[in-house]
């Protein structure tokens, strides 16, 4: 009942906002219009494109889509800090990559080490402990760490336009899911507070887990093997495993999101696929085809023909971060 009461309030707030502007942080333009029109069409019971509430599933990539990802995915920056703390126990790491670069905080060299290098950093620093210890370490880091460029907590580098989209969709009966290559347990430590996305709606990369049976205090142990890496074709597979329904909306920002957008937008009826193009070096970053982090190449080439909206961050977003001046 309380949940329903709160949902009712959110819906009411949504209606109130609609009379103002539910996407106030977006500039007028084709991207904003496409989102508003899609929601109007799918939630109007008299529209041909009406989508029943149960089927209102919206999926979002996280890094580069809901928050920034430069100079490196923030979970990797967390790994690098853990690596500094653990350095005394692992003198051999000063000699081998990607640890050597990470210990020097040489972000470009770490990024260039590719997926395999990043996975090594994560395995070395974020496994071999209980899930409870890990979550506490994530929370400690979020409380104390600051972003190297903006000198703010990482959770302040979320995108205001995407917060507006999440809230607007939920006010219209959509359930908002995260589908990210980032670690599921890393994200769950903060997505509810940052985005309003509860743990059961977070899909992400999973390490092997052991259940440590105990009649008083059982626990989960994080193992170094990767159980499931949620990128590329594994994004729709992760959606199928967790949601079991085909989404009608997908937001991403890199070529790792193309299968998720394809699976979402090739279904019947109205579908919305959106790619965030990072074009704003001043307020955020500008990168695409050549970037080791968040590379967007094929998506830019094929997206428009496939009916996907390409958001030009510099043009389409009136505001980037919540603490930057509102429009």
Residues of the shown chain interacting with a copy of itself in the complex, contacts defined by CB under 8 A: 1-4, 7-8, 11, 52-54, 131, 173, 184-185, 188, 198-200, 202, 206, 209-211, 213-218, 220, 233-234, 236-237, 240-245, 259, 262-263, 266, 306
Q: In angstroms, what is the minimal distance from the CB of 218 to a copy of itself?
A: 6
Q: In angstroms, what is the minimal distance from the CB of 256 to a copy of itself?
A: 13
CA angle 319, 320, 326 (to 5 degrees): 30
Which H or E element spans position 186? Answer: helix 184-188
Out of Ca ion, a copy of itself, none, what residue 144 binds, judged by CB under 5 to 8 A for its kind, is none
Residue with tokens 């070529």: 255
CB 112 within 8 A of CB 96: no
Closest CA to 34 of 197, 26, 322, 10: 26
Out of a copy of itself, Ca ion, none, what residue 243 binds, judged by CB under 5 to 8 A for its kind, is a copy of itself
Q: In angstroms, what is the minimal distance from the CB of 19 to Ca ion?
A: 33
Q: Which residue is nearest to Ca ion (CB)?
A: 64
Which residue lies nearer to Ca ion by CB, 164 or 257?
257
Instruction: Tell me how far apart the terminal alpha carbons of the chain are, to the nearest angstrom.
Output: 37
Read off the tokens for 7: 């949902």
Which residue lies nearer to Ca ion by CB, 57 or 293?
293
Q: In angstroms, what is the minimal distance from the CB of 257 to Ca ion?
A: 6
Which residue lies nearer to a copy of itself by CB, 117 or 238?
238
Dihedral of the alpha carbons of 195, 199, 200, 205, in degrees to the nearest 10:
100
Closest CA to 298 of 251, 266, 234, 255: 255
């Amino acid at each position: 009942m309380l949940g329903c009461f709160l949902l009712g309030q959110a819906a009411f707030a949504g209606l109130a906002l609609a009379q103002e502007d539910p996407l106030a942080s977006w500039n007028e333009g084709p991207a904003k219009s496409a989102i508003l029109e899609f929601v109007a069409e799918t939630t109007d019971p008299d529209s041909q494109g009406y989508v029943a509430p149960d089927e209102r599933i919206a999926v979002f990539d996280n890094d580069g889509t809901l928050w920034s990802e430069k100079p490196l995915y923030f979970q990797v920056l967390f790994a690098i800090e853990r690596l500094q703390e653990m350095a005394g126990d692992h003198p051999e790491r000063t000699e081998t990559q990607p640890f050597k670069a990470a210990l020097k905080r040489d972000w470009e060299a770490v990024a260039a080490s590719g997926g395999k290098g990043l996975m090594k950093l994560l395995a070395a620093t974020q496994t071999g402990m209980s899930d409870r210890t890990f979550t506490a370490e994530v929370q400690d880091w979020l409380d104390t760490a600051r972003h190297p460029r903006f000198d703010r907590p990482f959770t302040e580098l979320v995108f205001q336009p995407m917060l507006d989209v999440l809230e607007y969709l939920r006010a219209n009966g959509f359930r908002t899911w995260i589908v990210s290559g980032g670690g599921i347990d890393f994200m769950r430590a903060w997505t509810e507070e940052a985005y309003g996305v509860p743990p059961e709606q977070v899909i992400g990369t999973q390490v092997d887990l052991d259940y440590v049976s105990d009649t008083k205090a059982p626990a989960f142990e994080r193992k170094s093997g990767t159980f499931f890496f949620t990128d590329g074709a594994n994004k729709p597979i992760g959606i199928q495993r967790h949601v079991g329904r085909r989404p009608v909306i997908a937001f991403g920002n890199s070529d790792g999101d193309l299968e998720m957008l394809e699976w979402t937008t090739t279904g019947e009826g109205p579908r919305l696929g959106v790619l965030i193009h990072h074009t704003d070096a001043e307020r955020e970053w500008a990168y695409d085809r050549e970037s080791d982090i968040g590379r967007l190449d094929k998506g830019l080439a094929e997206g428009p023909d496939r009916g996907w909206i390409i958001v030009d961050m510099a043009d389409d977003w009136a505001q980037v971060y919540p603490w930057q001046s509102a429009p």
